[in-house]
Structure 1
Amino acid sequence: MSKILITGGLGFIGHHLAIKLSQKGHKIAVLDNLSRPYTTTGNSLKRPDKNYNWDYLDKYYPKIEKYLKDIRNREEIVKIFQFFQPEIIIHAAGQTSAIDSIRNPRVDFENNVDGLFNILNSAKESQNATDFIYFSTNKVYGNNVGKIPLVEGKSRYIPEEKNFNGFTETLSIDHSIHTPYGISKLTGDLYVQEFGQIYNMKNTVFRLSCIYGDQQFGIHGQGFISYMFLNAISGKPIQIYGNGKQVRDILYIDDLANLIEKYLSSTSNLNPELFNQKSRVYNIGGGINNTISLLELVREFELILGKKLKTEFSNWRLGDQKLYISEISKIYSDIGWKPNINPELGIKKLTKWVEVNRSLFFN
């Protein structure tokens, strides 16, 4: 078993990975500064205390080590690497909102570029680190995804190409509007690849599509499925930017956790020739079989709640992609992973968790 450091380990993705990998017998440490906004939204909807995931791990997984540190603090990061001596680093920390990156690009840059560099360089200098996994985003492709011809259907955009299976890792990242968030994540994406090539590190980039699931505290601009459902059950109108026909491939958090566990096992046991490559890049999402539009998502909520929901439409947001679907055949070919939880089941699992934990969100 390995010693694994997860940055952003008290966030939605990092928290789930810490639990999954700890259950598999790995020694886990999470690093987080608890900076994710948990602001009150309106009179009826609140946010869980920012210490919720910290307290949850304390109660149910006390063996997981926790460091309340900021990835932007280089000296503190160096100390953690010296003390914990991780063999595997999973970098899930950073600023995650495209909207907030437009409002405050400096904070976005400091977290997603400076912070990433501190972690990556510490891994390079480490005598113990063997694997570095970086969570990038489909936003690195910017609006290049909008260059394929689309047909506007009743509830979603549809590619004109009948055999379209999603965007591959070879899609251009150039000559495109990304938002500052997309640019900062792309910078980290390229740094991770470059360090693998130059410094002989075993680095992997996962360009994530939309990840959702239980214990996701969705906010405006991030975690849209969770956020929209919270508004639905609060009686507030569901805010939709554009016409609601935007399509995304969605991946339930349990499927992502299974991918990471399988990937780490594969790199050491299953295919040594493949994983002698210094840097690898994968598009990760639900793929062509797990897509949904915003209008279709609202319809799923209506079926679950048994009532008609209010919606409000606003102007399109800068850099919004009308259709993004990950082509995930590369990761399947390499390690045999594919999603198991379809949108209908995943959305029911998420909404059930929210209903059971209503007291976290409502006074």
Structure 2
Amino acid sequence: MIQPRPRPPGDPAGCNVLITGGAGFIGANLADSLAAAGHRVVVLDTLARPGVEANLAWLAERHPAALTAVTGDVRDADLVADCVTEADVVFHLAAQVAVTTSLVSPMEDFAVNLGGTITVLEAARARRVPLIFASTNKVYGNLPNLPLTAADDAYVPADPELRRWGIGERQPLDFHTPYGCSKGGADQYVLDYARSFGIPTAVLRMSCIYGPRQMGTEDQGWVAHFLISAIAGRPISIYGDGRQVRDVLHVSDAVTAYRAAWERIESIAGQAFNLGGGPSNAVSLRQVLAHIETLVGRPVDHRFSEWRAGDQRYYVSDTRRAQSVLGLPVPTPWRRGVSDLAAWLTSTRGTGGIGGPGDRYTSLMGAGE
């Protein structure tokens, strides 16, 4: 059984936090922030992806007295129940993250993303523990009926209101690919546990999250993948024409949103929020690549390939509701954030980062694109 660490004297507000997938990109950043704030953090992670051990080692070095690491799977009901026993809140971030993997192994994708979420929800229900779930913009499908204009380097919505504000939570759900179905089903189960069982739950439907401790691949984490390839002098494959647009959000801003959701969990129970950089951080793959070329000081070799299943040509979050209800600050400007990630990636060269084993690992977040 997981034994909670004793509450330190003079810190009566310290809580026990469980983060599934806590060794991944967003999970590690969230764990670091919560541990630094005086909470005791249990990280449950399979450590299945090469390189995530580095995130866990980083956390253990920074917070030796506040961190408990548990190697295991969210499909293990007994282990999950054990981890939830002393938790004051659960952040459920563990997932199978890649659309491509879901198309190859849909049963595995279903078992981890939907089955694992039910397992975590049931453990939370048994102790009535609040739960915040990492969902994805993929729950809205590939938005095929969204009228777009192809500008020189980016798709632009024909609707001026959509261009101004982005896509809100009233957008109909439309699951595409096994990944979209498994994450979308999990999203709906999390919301229904608030309705059916009165468990305080909330959902954050994330767009593209990026930042330090991310080592992206072609399948997931494209901003980091572009930077890693550019710094290492490797060619980049772009699926589609590169004009597809996302509202990128720095991981520090995502962590702020997760903490804000926890602080307000009783008032927001049963609600979903679109979380991204919003229209001010809407950027195409081509635009990000051009900025990366200025950062590395040379052209980046890139090639275009066929579109991938379920890819959205345009997705920008309408963040007004999240900003209002959760009290979120203005997000980090994308150029500054990408420069921040480039500096971190450069500093990791030769230490298991770029050019090392970490090249192949992805975050444990499906929505981190």
TM-score w.r.t. length of structure 2: 0.89
SS of match in other structure, 2:189: helix
Asked if structure 2 preserves the Cα contact closer than 8 Å seen for 1:117 and 1:188, the reply is: yes
Asked if structure 1 preserves the Cα contact closer than 8 Å seen for 2:23 and 2:52, the reply is: no
Distance of 1:297 and 1:277 partners within structure 2: 34
Q: How does 1:1-363 map to 2 (within 5 A)?
A: 1=13, 2-36=15-49, 38=50, 49-62=51-64, 63-82=66-85, 85-126=86-127, 129=129, 131-143=130-142, 145-164=143-162, 165-174=165-174, 178-267=176-265, 275-276=266-267, 278-359=269-350, 360-362=353-355
Asked if structure 2 preserves the Cα contact closer than 8 Å seen for 1:146 and 1:323, the reply is: no
Which structure would you say has the larger RCO, counting Cα contacts within 8 Å and 6 or more residues apart?
2
Distance of 2:198 and 2:52 partners within structure 1: 38
User: Relative to structure 1, is the Cα distance of residues 307 and 116 closer, same or farther in structure 2, using a 3 angstrom cutoff?
Assistant: same
The superposition leaves residues 30-80 of structure 1 with CA deviations (integer Å, 9 ceiling, x where unpaired) of: 1101112x3xxxxxxxxxx34211211221111211111111111221222
TM-aligned CA deviation for residue 214 of structure 1: 0.6
SS of match in other structure, 2:87: coil
The one-letter code sitting in structure 1 at the alignment partner of 2:274 is N
The one-letter code sitting in structure 2 at the alignment partner of 1:285 is G
The one-letter code sitting in structure 2 at the alignment partner of 1:337 is L
Distance of 1:224 and 1:204 partners within structure 2: 26
The superposition leaves residues 244-287 of structure 1 with CA deviations (integer Å, 9 ceiling, x where unpaired) of: 000000000001111222332344xxxxxxx4454011000001
SS of match in other structure, 1:217: coil
The superposition leaves residues 319-343 of structure 1 with CA deviations (integer Å, 9 ceiling, x where unpaired) of: 1100000011111121321443111
Distance of 1:136 and 1:146 partners within structure 2: 21
Distance of 2:302 and 2:279 partners within structure 1: 27
Aligned partner of 1:270 in structure 2 is none
Count of matched residue pairs: 338
Distance of 1:32 and 1:56 partners within structure 2: 15
The one-letter code sitting in structure 2 at the alignment partner of 1:219 is T
Asked if structure 2 preserves the Cα contact closer than 8 Å seen for 1:3 and 1:26, the reply is: yes
Distance of 1:278 and 1:244 partners within structure 2: 38
SS of match in other structure, 2:172: coil
The one-letter code sitting in structure 1 at the alignment partner of 2:114 is V
Structure 2 unaligned segments of length 5 or more: list them: 1-12, 357-369
Structure 1 unaligned segments of length 5 or more: list them: 39-48, 268-274
Distance of 2:241 and 2:81 partners within structure 1: 47
User: Relative to structure 1, is the Cα distance of residues 229 and 277 closer, same or farther in structure 2, using a 3 angstrom cutoff?
Assistant: closer
Distance of 1:13 and 1:93 partners within structure 2: 10
Distance of 2:180 and 2:159 partners within structure 1: 26
TM-aligned CA deviation for residue 318 of structure 1: 0.8
User: Relative to structure 1, is the Cα distance of residues 100 and 163 closer, same or farther in structure 2, using a 3 angstrom cutoff?
Assistant: same
TM-aligned CA deviation for residue 179 of structure 1: 1.1
Distance of 1:266 and 1:140 partners within structure 2: 24
The one-letter code sitting in structure 1 at the alignment partner of 2:167 is F
Asked if structure 1 preserves the Cα contact closer than 8 Å seen for 2:135 and 2:184, the reply is: yes
The one-letter code sitting in structure 2 at the alignment partner of 1:351 is A
The superposition leaves residues 218-239 of structure 1 with CA deviations (integer Å, 9 ceiling, x where unpaired) of: 1221010101111112222111
Aligned partner of 1:271 in structure 2 is none
Asked if structure 2 preserves the Cα contact closer than 8 Å seen for 1:156 and 1:246, the reply is: yes
Asked if structure 1 preserves the Cα contact closer than 8 Å seen for 2:249 and 2:331, the reply is: no
User: Relative to structure 1, is the Cα distance of residues 50 and 277 closer, same or farther in structure 2, using a 3 angstrom cutoff?
Assistant: closer
Matched residues, percent identical?
Answer: 33
